[in-house]
Amino acid sequence: MKAALKTWTALMAVNGAFCCGPAWADWRDDIGTFRIGIVAEPGAGNTVPGLAVLTQAFTNALGMKVEFVVARDYAALIEAQANARIEYAIYSATAYAAALQRCECVEPLVAPVDSNGAAGIRSVLLTRDGKLPGLADMETRRIAMPPPDSVGGSLLPLAGLAAEHVRIAEDAPFLVHAPSASAAETMLVDGEADAMFGWVKAAADGQPRLPGGTQARLEASDLSASALQVVWTSGLLRYGPHAVRGDLDPEAKRRLTVFLTNLKSTTPDVYDLLEPKHAGGFMPVAPKDYAAAEAIVRMVSVDGRQQVLQQSLQGIVTLLRGRR
């Protein structure tokens, strides 16, 4: 009897190894090394401040080997994630939207906020002393517009108005193309323009304005706050997300989200290394939060604005055109 029991136990152990072994497989084993893509700051080459500290922090959060991959620009970062060479990427808002258009394989996890709660920017059409009563009167006024490298003052308003069926041609006679955002502000202050496109910081809860941006700078100049009126406000352009491949294991996504949303409170020094520009911590985000960024990328890719893509998207739209 004992011999039979030992034989049965041995057979069950063998069968368990064959039938149930794969259940022991872990998503970490499938990935091997978790690779995080990041674009270095201009002039920094392939260096990222605090890289060893960041690598260890992500290693602890995921329980696996982590490696940072420094891309030369966002176009290279998009290609790396689209081709599954990296699992995780830190994008600008428009770069994320371009990545989504490239392969629909990316998913935003979190995005930073400012210490005052700002989650991004909104474009605004500002006038002084009521000179522009409404959008219907634009063609009879002079409206200053910053160059394309001012996303909030150029790309966002053009895309946002088009979504509201108010399409403005780049060569519209009522537009006065300023060489810089500050030059556009000067035109409004000096009376050379009746209105201008600019931007304001905004929270995610619909609050239209927080300190900072074009309106604050104008109010700090010779224009009083009472002299300025907001004629139109766009949707929110969120700060750029940390995004993963959509096919990443749900447990990995959960671990990353928990790690990132708690990072500011648990290890603020690591947070400052990972996100030096926005001091308020990370918030979970969803694809719908980047509708404004998607509208910008669609507009640029359809219109073929070469100057726009060179100045603001680092050749991303060129990449997209080559893949369509």
Instruction: Measure the CA–CA gap between 63 and 29, rounded to whole angstroms.
Output: 11
Q: Do residues 130 and 231 both lie within one domain?
A: yes
CA nearest neighbour of 296 among 134, 106, 161: 161
- Position 146 in a domain: yes
Q: Per the structure block, which two tokens stand in for 243? A: 């995004």
- Position 17 in a domain: no
Q: What does the pLDDT look like over 82-104, one tens digit per residue?
A: 999 999 999 999 999 999 999 99
Beta-carbon count within 10 A of 161 CB: 19
At 171 the pLDDT is 82
**DSSP 8-class letter at 21:** G
Q: Do residues 51 and 109 both lie within one domain?
A: yes
Q: Do residues 32 and 109 both lie within one domain?
A: yes
Q: Do residues 48 and 100 both lie within one domain?
A: yes
Name residues whose C-beta falls within 8 Å of residue 238's C-beta, 6 or more positions apart in sequence: 93, 111, 119, 120, 204, 285, 289, 290, 292, 293
- Position 3 in a domain: no
Q: Do residues 105 and 246 both lie within one domain?
A: yes
What stretches of 254-321 adopt beta strand conformation (E)?
Answer: 282-284
Q: Do residues 97 and 133 both lie within one domain?
A: no
What stretches of 87-221 adopt beta strand conformation (E)?
Answer: 88-90, 106-112, 120-128, 143-145, 175-177, 195-202, 210-213
Q: How many residues does the chain have?
A: 324
Answer with the one of 223, 238, 253 that is the final residue of a domain. Answer: 238
Across the range 56-71, mean pLDDT stands at 96
Q: What does the pLDDT look like over 243-276, one tens digit per residue?
A: 999 999 999 999 999 999 999 999 999 999 999 9
Instruction: Measure the CA–CA gap between 316 and 73, rounded to whole angstroms.
Output: 9
For 58, the domain range is: 27-113+239-290+305-323
pLDDT at 14 over 80: no
At 319 the pLDDT is 42
Q: Do residues 61 and 71 both lie within one domain?
A: yes
Q: What does the pLDDT look like over 100-130, one tens digit per residue?
A: 999 999 999 999 999 999 999 999 999 999 9
- Position 167 in a domain: yes
Q: Cα angle at 82 between 81 and 84, to 5 degrees?
A: 60
Q: Do residues 212 and 278 both lie within one domain?
A: no
Q: Do residues 125 and 88 both lie within one domain?
A: no
- Position 84 in a domain: yes
At 303 the pLDDT is 62
Kindly report the pTM of this predicted structure: 0.84
Single-letter code of the amino acid located at 74: Y
Q: Where is pLDDT greater, at 182 or 11?
A: 182
Instruction: Measure the CA–CA gap between 19 and 13, rounded to whole angstroms.
Output: 10
Q: Do residues 152 and 72 both lie within one domain?
A: no
At 45 the pLDDT is 65
At 25 the pLDDT is 55
Counted domains in the chain: 2
At 43 the pLDDT is 61
pLDDT at 32 over 90: yes
Q: Do residues 91 and 146 both lie within one domain?
A: no
- Position 284 in a domain: yes
Instruction: Measure the CA–CA gap between 181 and 200, rounded to whole angstroms.
Output: 13
- Position 5 in a domain: no
Across the range 121-149, mean pLDDT stands at 94
Taking 3-state DSSP, the helix, strand and coil percentages for the chain, each rounded to the nearest 5, stand at: 45, 20, 35
CATH number at residue 89: 3.40.190.10
Q: Do residues 73 and 163 both lie within one domain?
A: no
At 49 the pLDDT is 85
Instruction: Measure the CA–CA gap between 115 and 120, rounded to whole angstroms.
Output: 12
Percentage of the chain modeled with pLDDT above 90:
68
- Position 300 in a domain: no
At 40 the pLDDT is 82
